[in-house]
Amino acid sequence: MSARPGSALWLLRHELRMFWYNMLSSKNGKEPRGFHWKLVAVWLVLWLFVHAGAWFVVGLISGGDDELPRQLVLAASVLLVATFLFMLSSALKSSVEVLFDRGDMDLLLSSPLPSRSIFTVRLAGVVIGVATIYLFFLAPLAHAGALRGHPRWLALYPVVLGMAAIASAGAMLLTLALVRWLGARRTRVVAQVLGALAGALLFILSQLPNLAVQTGTSEGFLLRAARSSAWIPADSPVWLPGRALLGDPFAATAVGVVALLAFALTVALTHRSFTRGLQLAASVAPVARRPAGELRFRFGRSLASSLIRKEWRLILRDPQLISQVLLQLLYLIPILFLVFRKDGAQNLAVGAGLTLLCGSLGSSLAWVILLAEDAPDLLSAAPADMRTIRRAKMAAAIGPVLALVCLPVLWLTWRAPLSGLLAAFTVCGVTLGATLIVMWVGKPGPRSAFTRRAQGKGASILFEMSHLFGWGGLAFLLPYTASQPETGLLTAVGMGVAGAVALGVPFLAWIFRHRSH
């Protein structure tokens, strides 16, 4: 069936085509995007493996189709709430992309198409894009349930689409409200921060039972939740999300009605605000302000000091870049609670967590400072030693990472000296190694391409991830082996492999760098 050109269905078909090719395509340098059937085959094979796992899980938890066990409804409710938080995070990012980063909106708004149709299609595209990844992982549960005698589990499809519609409508409303209150420039940063907070909130909430003061019980989170919720009636609205996911007709219908109302009201009330937001975004141009006071020149600093200050100043002047790099620090919050708790059993997890966090943050800062230089030709032509310039840039990338984790490592060293010293060793090692790997095999690019810095550079990602997990394994095994010298051969082999990967990957990156030139 062919849609009439200019109709909403025609626009939606174009939106789906763009989503399909963006998801299953690659980009090498300046070459156009191309479709890759091998990538489709990989995703299909992965989906078959997910189906196999879902078949096993459903076989363990499924019961009678007429009466749903309370524990199963509780697990489904928790799963749906977690999925909704991640959907909200993805929807906020997609809303920012629709409002600011798409390059075709000027053409659409200058066409005779009504703004209501444009906004409807764009919002529907956000819903489909948000729901696709979660259907990829959750739909196998519905398929396995249907094959095992629970056909009502196929209600997962409309329920997930309905939750995606609710999350997308809320994200779009929030984004447009931020544009009206804060302006277009600040909205990009605030929306990205809120999106990351929504995604990290689930991780932080999942750690709350472990961060609370223990009362001598070792029950799991779901068991404690099930026991504390035993007084809630089975027909309570609290269980509506879980019952909808498991195919309860009334609950699934309620989710669908709420989703349709949210979508329709968002389109009806805000499609004009959507147009004004796009006009504000297009009219925003950064204006440089003249510094207060008289212009002063300072020539007393060394070259290294001037370069370090320059790099830090450039990062501080880019709040969007700060929001993308430093949002990884949200995952430091549970680690800090574990550090400051008086529980020696958490030392292994603390050292490994700090090491993984420093490796990831160090890679991000190293790419921004070493490979996202705005004037590389100017530095190359400057009458200065390039080794001094590289060392200064490395110091600018490593310094903030070590400063951020200095307090947790010192506190851990005061409570458990051996664990703290080993954590300091692994933190310094992973940060230095990550910086060297990025410098040697990273892909240069502009700062605006921070989120796409890995495209077309598979070797760099392989080196970075191998190095990160090598140091993470070493950070976990070193304190364990030091506290229990009688560990077996398997632990010794694991520590040897982790150490070889952690120390050998930078050397391989150095060799790869020389071969590539």
| Confidence label for 24 from pLDDT (cuts 50, 70 and 90) | low
Q: Across residues 380-399, what is the average pLDDT?
A: 87
The H helix count followed by the E strand count for the chain is: 20, 2
Q: Summarize pLDDT for 411-423 with one digit per residue, the tens.
A: 888 888 888 899 9
Read off the amino acid at residue 351.
Answer: G
* Least confident window among 173-182, 378-387, 479-488: 479-488
**Last residue within a domain, chosen from 253, 283, 313:** 283
pLDDT, one tens digit per residue, over 134-179 is 888 888 888 888 888 888 888 889 999 999 999 999 988 888 888 7
**pTM of the predicted model as reported, rounded to 2 decimal places:** 0.65
pLDDT average, residue stretch 102-126: 77
Same domain, 278 and 323: no
119 and 84 part of one domain: yes
**How open is the CA angle 112-114-115, to the nearest 5 degrees?**
120
Residue 139's identity, in one-letter code, is A
Using the 8-state DSSP alphabet, how is residue 229 labeled? T
Note the pLDDT of residue 506.
Answer: 92
328 and 266 within one domain = no
Domain-located, residue 182: yes
Same domain for 392 and 508: yes
Residue 297 counted as domain residue: no
pLDDT of residue 30: 40
d(CA 245, CA 156): 5
Does 115 reside within a domain? yes
> Which of 74, 108, 453 is closest to 239 using CA atoms?
74
First to last CA, the chain: 53
Residue 222 lies in a domain: no
**Rounded (5°) CA angle 303-304-310:** 90
| Alpha-carbon gap, residue 234 to 68, rounded angstroms | 10
In terms of Cα–Cα distance, which of 378, 384, 503, 343 is closest to 437? 503
SS3 string, 385-441, reads: CHHHHHHHHHHHHHHHHHHHCHHHHHHHHHHCHHHHHHHHHHHHHHHHHHHHHHHHH
Task: Please state the separation of Cα 221 from the chain's center in Å.
Answer: 24
| Residue 291 located in a structural domain | no
CA–chain centroid gap for 423, Å, is 25
pLDDT tens-digit readout, 289-302 = 655 666 666 666 67
Could you give the number of structural domains in the chain? 2
**Do residues 152 and 259 share a domain?**
yes
Residues 264 and 319 in one domain: no
The rounded distance, in Å, linking the Cα atoms of 49 and 19 is: 24
Element (H or E) spanning 26, and its range? strand 25-26
Residues 27, 135 within the same domain = yes
Same domain? For 244 and 314 the reply is no
Same domain, 369 and 487: yes
In a domain, residue 217? The reply is no
Residue 174 lies in a domain: yes
Mean pLDDT on 363-387: 83
Query: Would you say residue 503 lies in a domain?
Result: yes
CA-closest candidate to residue 361, choices 313, 326, 336: 326
Same domain, 147 and 13: yes
349 shares its domain with 394: yes
Check residue 32 and give its pLDDT.
Answer: 40
Q: Final residue of a domain: which of 251, 283, 315?
A: 283
Which stretches of 183-302 are DSSP H helices?
184-211, 221-228, 240-245, 249-283
Residues in the chain: 517
**Which amino acid belongs to residue 344?**
G
At 231 the pLDDT is 53
Domain that holds residue 413: 303-516
Are 384 and 479 in the same domain? Answer: yes
Cβ contacts of 33 within 8 Å, gap of 6 or more = 21, 22, 25, 26, 27
pLDDT exceeds 80 at position 427: yes
What is the pLDDT at residue 196?
A: 66
